[in-house]
Chains A and B, each alone.
Chain A
Amino acid sequence: MTKRAADVSVSPPRRRRSTYTLAPLVLIAANVVLFALFFVWPAVIGLVYSFTNYTGVGAFQFVGMDNYHNLFGDSAFYDALTRTLLYTVLFVPLNFALSLLIANVLVSKHAKGASVARVVFFIPWLLSPIVVGVLWRWLFGENFGLVNYVVEKFGGSAVPWQSNADLSLVVVVVAASWAWTGFSMLLFIAAIKNVPVSYYEAASLDGAGPWRQFISITLPSIAPTSFIVILLNTINAMKEYPLFVSLNNGGPGTSNNLLVQYIYQTGFQRGQIGYASAASFVLMLILMAVAIIQLVVNRRVENR
């Protein structure tokens, strides 16, 4: 890109060349070191430890595939895995639909006050998952929460938001969608604004209504962004932990312990580092599969 034969003749080629190796090397040095220290090294020892019975201190033995065998016989791991997948399957579409709807309303020139509303939608994204959890715990308290108060006001009976495992998962799904809307929405707004206006004008002349225009023009045009939103949200959902901790602490009981919480508990509370590393690698394989599927599909869509 920058090196051309013509430029090289301006000054002695050897000196120039060495500068070009040295300068970028100096520039990326910090990140290369950090990458090696905090990415490559943990990844390698994690893989090694996943075949051992290491407890974090002292000696350890190689146990072959035992950890992986045990993992798939461990009902707590299975529950965490299925609960994580269920959470992801519920959260990703809900977040997608909400943020796309809001992005569309925000770019519509008919909606008044869009710039103020955009800030309102964005603020939840600024809050930490811990605070989001506290906030929704406060809203959905069984005996004191605003939601049950409203439900009772309208003649219903208090809903067990915290003591029913499925309902408490639903509360987390809603809370997470609420918190992540601002970010997905921002990506969608940028994508929708880039759809050429002439498409809509032509469709409008052909008599296509707003819904038809959305289905036939907007959705296909923003497909690459849609995939990015789905990918990022899937990764975020698979590694969710703080939101659960502060909203219901994975409860009631242990029914909503997700994968990261399972890894945290086995690795750090029970000191089974080897076993936790094996669980981490299962999570890693899932994420890699998600990313690869997404990349393949995305490429196919872009090449169409």
Chain B
Amino acid sequence: MTTTDMPRKADAGPGRSVSKKRPRGASSGGLRRAVPATTLLWILACLYGLPVLWFILSSFKPAGDLFSYPLTLVPHHPTLSGYLTAWRSANFSQYFINTTLVCVITTILTVGASCCTGYALAKYDNKWLKAFFICILATTMLPGEVMLAPEFLVVRNLGLYNSFAGIILPAVLTATGCFMFRQFFLTVPDELVEAARIDGARELSIFLRIMVPLSRPIMLTLAILSFQWRWNDYIWPLLMLNDPNKFTVQIGIQSIVGAQNINWSVLLGASVISMIPLIVIFLVFQRYVMGADINAGLKD
């Protein structure tokens, strides 16, 4: 839990990483060592990449070619028909809009609430704050799946059944988010807060005008993580939503899998479409995820 500054330290200077391991290898026999390491790396990478590649390439095959032997990696007659059918049929475009809406709202609320809580936990020293910190810790030990039935009843009693609010609100408090912001604000010097106080700034405006802008990178990291968790959520939306017009993408895909005869062409298209937003976000903001100070508190 004290790992905030660790990744930073690790890539602090290019000079450090050059002398990383086995310094003898650097000067002599670099190639001799590079060949087995690189080979092993790329064999593993192929094992991990191949399933996705096979899946994506298959999705461009016309329905009739999907099962024709011999199987070929690259489609002979690439087509978008699977995608088009998936997009048009079964309200898939509606699911896509619903999911985007839920993800965006949840993410904004999660980032806001986590930022506030993380700042309070890092910069104020009250007994009840420490107690609340332990409460947040407890939520990591108990995933929502454990309280499926009672949580459903609570949300129903609040009148949120079959509404987006019923999906959004229970997901806003995340221990991970609070941890990430707490760890970040601990690294911000207390003197900064003190100086602002002496200048007569009020507590909340110190937070809003100094601290919030400082924490922009953490916000982005948490936003990406939160968007991904909500986009991939399945069981909670499944329980909460009754109206097919409100379904999310994951429920849509699962309903294709659950059909008597799986329409693989549509299923492949729908699945690939559902991957696109996350992969695009990830590739654009890669460094915020890869260098993230994610640690112990991680949970969705």
State the A residues within 8 Å of B (CB).
Answer: 1-3, 7, 10, 19-24, 26-28, 30-32, 34-35, 37-39, 41-43, 45-46, 49, 56, 101-102, 105-114, 116-124, 126-131, 133-139, 143-144, 146, 149, 178, 181, 183, 186-187, 190-191, 193-194, 197, 200-201, 204, 210, 213, 228, 232, 235, 239, 241-242, 245-246, 249, 260, 263-264, 267-268, 273, 276-277, 280, 283-284, 287-288, 291
Contacts and interface: CB of A to CB of B under 8 A. Distances in A.
Contacts of B132: 28, 31-32, 35
Contact of A263 (B36, B55, B149, B228): B149
A144 B258 CA distance: 18
Given A186-B294, A280-B148, A284-B142, A245 B254 contact: yes
Contacts of A28: 116-117, 120-121, 129, 132
A70 B160 CA distance: 33
Given A1-B125, A280-B149, 19 more contacts: A19-B202, A20-B203, A27-B116, A28-B129, A41-B150, A111-B41, A117-B41, A117-B42, A126-B282, A131-B275, A139-B55, A178-B48, A190-B7, A194-B6, A197-B20, A201-B19, A263-B148, A264-B148, A277-B149
Interface residues of B, number: 118
A246 B117 contact: no
A49 B147 CA distance: 11
B239 interface: yes
Contacts of B34: 110-112
B116 A239 contact: no
Contacts of A22: 203
Interface stretch (B87-95, B167-175, B213-221): B167-175
A259 B41 CA distance: 36
B67 A144 contact: yes
Given A127-B275, A134-B267, A280-B148, A110 B135 contact: no
B83 interface: no
A114 B148 contact: no
Contacts of A31: 113-114, 116-117, 132, 136, 172-173, 178
Contact of B21 (A109, A143, A183): A109
Given A28-B120, A131-B271, A249 B258 contact: yes
B125 A128 contact: no
A168 B5 CA distance: 43
10 contacts: A28-B132, A31-B117, A42-B150, A101-B44, A107-B20, A131-B274, A138-B58, A143-B67, A268-B148, A287-B143
A54 B21 CA distance: 62
Contacts of A20: 124, 126, 203
B51 interface: yes
Given A32-B132, A120-B45, A149 B149 contact: no
A102 B37 CA distance: 11
B142 A276 contact: no
A38 B170 contact: yes
B22 A210 contact: yes
B278 interface: yes
B275 A126 contact: yes
A139 B54 contact: yes
A116 B45 CA distance: 9
B234 A37 contact: no
A286 B299 CA distance: 18
A128 B274 contact: yes
A241 B150 contact: no
Contact of A239 (B33, B41, B71, B146): B146
Contacts, number: 320
A102 B30 CA distance: 20
B207 A288 contact: no
Contact of B257 (A19, A24, A197, A246): A246
A114 B41 CA distance: 8
A239 B141 CA distance: 12
B38 A110 contact: yes
Contacts of A117: 41-42, 44-45
A171 B93 CA distance: 31
B116 A30 contact: yes
B143 to A, nearest CB: 5
Interface string B124-142: 1110010010011011011
A174 to B, nearest CB: 10
B296 interface: yes
A241 to B, nearest CB: 6
Given A260-B145, A267-B149, A277-B149, A128 B231 contact: yes
Interface string B23-35: 1111000100110
B290 interface: yes
Interface in B227-261: 228, 231-235, 239, 250, 253-254, 257-258
A135 B271 contact: yes
Given A108-B21, A276-B148, A134 B124 contact: no
Nearest to B173: A34
A180 to B, nearest CB: 12
A260 B194 contact: no
Given A39-B139, A149-B69, A130 B268 contact: no
Contacts of B16: 197
B271 A124 contact: no
A26 B258 CA distance: 46
